[in-house]
Structure 1
Amino acid sequence: MTSGIHHVTLITGNVQANVDFYVGFLGLRLVKRTGGYEDARQLHLFYGDYAASPGSLITFLVWQGGSSGQAGAGQVSELALAIAPGSIGYWLERALTHQVKVEGTSQEFGETVLRLRDPDGVIVKLVSANLPALTMPEIDIPADHAIRRIRGVTLLSEVQEETTAFLSRHFGFHPGPTEGPIQRLVSEVGDVLDIRDAAGFWPGAPGTGTADHVAVRANDAAEVEATAIELRKLNSSLTNLHDRQYFTSLYVREPGNVLIEVASDGPGFTLDETLDKLGQTLFMPPDTPDPEAMKVMLPQFGLPGEERVVYRDLIYKHRFFTPEDADGTTIALLHGTGGDETDLMPLAHRAAPKATLLGLRGRSTESGVQRWFRSFGPSIFDQKDIRFESGALDAFFQEIRSAYRLDPEKTVALGYSNGANLLGAALLLNPGFVRRAVLTRPVMVLDAVPETDLTGTSVLILLGKTDAFRPQGEKLADALRNRGAEVGVRLVATGHDLSDEDAPAIGDWLLT
């Protein structure tokens, strides 16, 4: 079996900061961007050397805005990268220049180590190690100081001896030196698994700033499958074999509960991109339903030197999607109950492929479900909260005009269900905060409607023919129309759910 580390997979909550650190600061190459194989709504980024070689690959699952985890027993706790002996001083100066958090230098197993923290808090160790250097992309880092490859990872195990025996027996590593509570395992190429005795440690909690797994190398798919057969004979841990398109992988938990992947060296990342174009195209897993819709929901970012959205800390959490051929129109999206800022992006993109999309996240939660305002029961709405959140929505639209220089004449608001309910109420309570709006499956939620003037406001209301809430939607349409708004109502062949008729209807209306 080929011996060594194939890749390490971690979790980030801020894709732009992650790219800036691993590409901009460390000098790695972004070699692949895909939707997640377990969840296509999750962006997966791969960094490595220029050729995307096994042994250089660091991958991240993007939980944008997700909660932080905690490294503990049963997890990988540290990532070590090899640099040339004598390069510590260069990297210390570079870290200070780039305002990267430094935790200091030390000696470990006779090697000088510089400890850093990435933007999510992951410990990244730069280790002066005389390992074979892989070819990194040419940027502002001198070749003599460039990252060489993965040096190793630290595993926290409550059963150190069992973990050491398991990894040595099945994955081609052999026992190396011991230092304090750490037993080192060494591969044929010299990278290492450091097994730290974590007896009595707190258990690890998954989340941003933690590692998901470490992958060890196999020559090819046949070797991965042979390893699967061997491990199944032990009947000690569940194994899962997968075709990950760029490599075949097998997942297993070792006795200390750390997730280990066995990944084949091939076919590799040039399967669907040429070497010089690696990392430029977003790919979706082959079995992804409606892949174009999924792409719209994934967070965007810019490589160093490219344009990117500089997000502001505003009233509502939000996310942009900007198409390549944006026409200057912006559609602000308010999701339904239980949704998030990405839910309506596929609908809006189908309706207006050249529009920039701005997804908002509601601030109210009930029983863990995301909403826009509180309710006291079925169709019993908190009137005070509706008015408060309507004012917040008005203020948010004022903020985005300044923060992102959005043209109010080219800004449209689109809400669904609970989001449409708040949007409809806000139009009645705060006339003029947006001049064009689409309300899909809304209801009237205001007990008392003020006598405001909505002249100059244009609204499209999409109601389901069989929707039990349709009469309340028609009541809202009448209230808006009676106050001067230009209101178009269209019935679609569905209930309260969205349908295939919605996007074309919205698209036609936007062109009027």
Structure 2
Amino acid sequence: MQINGLHHVTAISGPARRNLDFYARVLRLRLVKKTVNFDDPGTYHLYFGDVGAAPGSILTFFPWEHAAPGRLGVGETQETVFRVPEGSIGFWAHRFVEQGVPHEVPVKRFGETVLSFRDPDGMRLALVGLPGVEKEPAWADGGIPAEHGLRGFHSVSLLLAEAAPTGAILSDVFGFTEIGREDTLIRYAAKGTAVGGVIDLRVAGGFLPARQGAGSVHHIAFRAADDAAQEEMVRRLVQNHGISPTEQRDRNYFRSVYFREPGHVLFEIATDIPGFAIDEPAAELGRSLKLPPQYEAHRKEIEAVLPDLG
């Protein structure tokens, strides 16, 4: 079974407490998982999402206290875009002024109103106002009226030297179709996928390559319903595009393979299963530190070095 669209976006940030404050308080995303970087257990891995912690809403961070700023460039995700109700753009523009969030004047992009802004590390984000999404449930944990809450991803844009090779992967492996062009943007969409169903390719030949750091997107992940669906995507990658991903890696809440697409952006294919409620009740997501089994015996040492989140 193939389920198209984004599963999650993972980025690099500076101090964990500042990151948590911005995404949980300013944007009012739900903290759905508090765990550690599997490759660096002295560092948090924070997951933010919607009320149901659904694939297509999950933005995750590796926060390093002293991370140097990244440099946006070719071969990287340029902007991560969330969905909000069409009438909420004014509310968010006012909130950004109140909270001192750097933002731009709303513009039209493919006929939709887009409000671009940046987080404290300079990560490029945006809100897009869409009709009808106000009927969807939203996280309402105080501070933001539910009617203005974020409703998962709309899209990501990728900055590339050329679009065609990446577009071929999106179409053949992930079920996206080109639906329009505007200026230097080429838009791909997954039919029938409302949340996380759009990828924009921005052609920018001649730009410097990206340099990863605070404010950079580390990778983007696409959904696979289960292991069989993931295996089929891998088969297409190998047979049709000559790209061999990594072996499958168990991330506790999903199982993943990784590869560099032709434009050098790191892609992941992540299973929807088993989900974020596998190790804590859905109503209590994000309240306690969850460790992968291999680190549980070292919990005291890990907790001693992790920054205080307040």
Task: Give the TM-score normalised by the residue count of structure 1.
Answer: 0.57
| SS at 1:42 equivalent | strand
Indicate the residue corresponding to 2:156 in structure 1: 153
2:168 equivalent among 161, 165, 169? 165
1 CA distance for matches of 2:243 and 2:72?
Answer: 22
Q: How far did 1:167 drift?
A: 1.1
Aligned partners of 2:156 and 2:198 also within 8 Å: yes
Kindly report which structure 2 residues correspond to 1:272-351, keeping only aligned pairs within 5 A, or say none: 272-288=279-295, 290-302=298-310
Q: How far did 1:291 drift?
A: 3.7
Q: How far did 1:217 drift?
A: 0.8
- Output one character per residue of 1:6-39: Cα deviation in whole Å (capped at 9) or x when no partner: 1111110121221111110111110001111222
**Structure 1 pair 63–131 and aligned structure 2 pair: CA distance change class (3 A):** farther
Which AA in structure 1 matches 2:193?
A: V
| SS at 2:293 equivalent | coil
Aligned partners of 2:234 and 2:244 also within 8 Å: no
Runs of 4+ that moved beyond 6 A: none
Gapped runs of 5+ residues in structure 1?
Answer: 303-512
Q: How far did 1:201 drift?
A: 1.1
Kindly report which structure 2 residues correspond to 1:1-400, keeping only aligned pairs within 5 A, or say none: 1-130=2-131, 132=133, 133-187=136-190, 188-190=192-194, 191-234=197-240, 236-240=242-246, 241-288=248-295, 290-302=298-310
Q: Greater CA deviation, 147-156 or 131-140?
A: 131-140
**Structure 1 pair 117–282 and aligned structure 2 pair: CA distance change class (3 A):** same
| SS at 1:82 equivalent | strand
Aligned partners of 1:82 and 1:131 also within 8 Å: no
Gapped runs of 5+ residues in structure 2?
Answer: none
Indicate the residue corresponding to 1:395 in structure 2: none
Aligned partners of 1:83 and 1:127 also within 8 Å: yes
1 CA distance for matches of 2:273 and 2:285?
Answer: 15
Aligned partners of 1:11 and 1:62 also within 8 Å: yes
Which AA in structure 2 matches 1:2?
A: I
Q: Which has the higher contact order (CA 8 A, sep 6+)?
A: 2
Kindly report which structure 2 residues correspond to 1:403-442, keeping only aligned pairs within 5 A, or say none: none
Which has more radius of gyration?
A: 1
| SS at 2:17 equivalent | helix
Aligned partners of 2:50 and 2:139 also within 8 Å: yes
Aligned residue pairs total: 302
Identity of aligned residues (%): 39
Aligned partners of 1:7 and 1:216 also within 8 Å: yes
**Structure 1 pair 119–38 and aligned structure 2 pair: CA distance change class (3 A):** same
Q: How far did 1:104 drift?
A: 2.0
- Output one character per residue of 1:359-407: Cα deviation in whole Å (capped at 9) or x when no partner: xxxxxxxxxxxxxxxxxxxxxxxxxxxxxxxxxxxxxxxxxxxxxxxxx
Aligned partners of 1:46 and 1:58 also within 8 Å: yes
1 CA distance for matches of 2:95 and 2:204?
Answer: 33
Q: How far did 1:124 drift?
A: 1.1
Calculate the aligned-residue CA RMSD, in Å: 1.6
Q: How far did 1:287 drift?
A: 2.3
1 CA distance for matches of 2:236 and 2:166?
Answer: 17
- Output one character per residue of 1:61-89: Cα deviation in whole Å (capped at 9) or x when no partner: 11112111111111101110111112111
**Structure 1 pair 293–238 and aligned structure 2 pair: CA distance change class (3 A):** farther
Aligned partners of 2:31 and 2:46 also within 8 Å: yes
- Output one character per residue of 1:236-258: Cα deviation in whole Å (capped at 9) or x when no partner: 33411211110111111111010
| SS at 2:86 equivalent | coil
1 CA distance for matches of 2:49 and 2:174?
Answer: 22
Which AA in structure 2 matches 1:296?
A: A
Greater strand content: 2
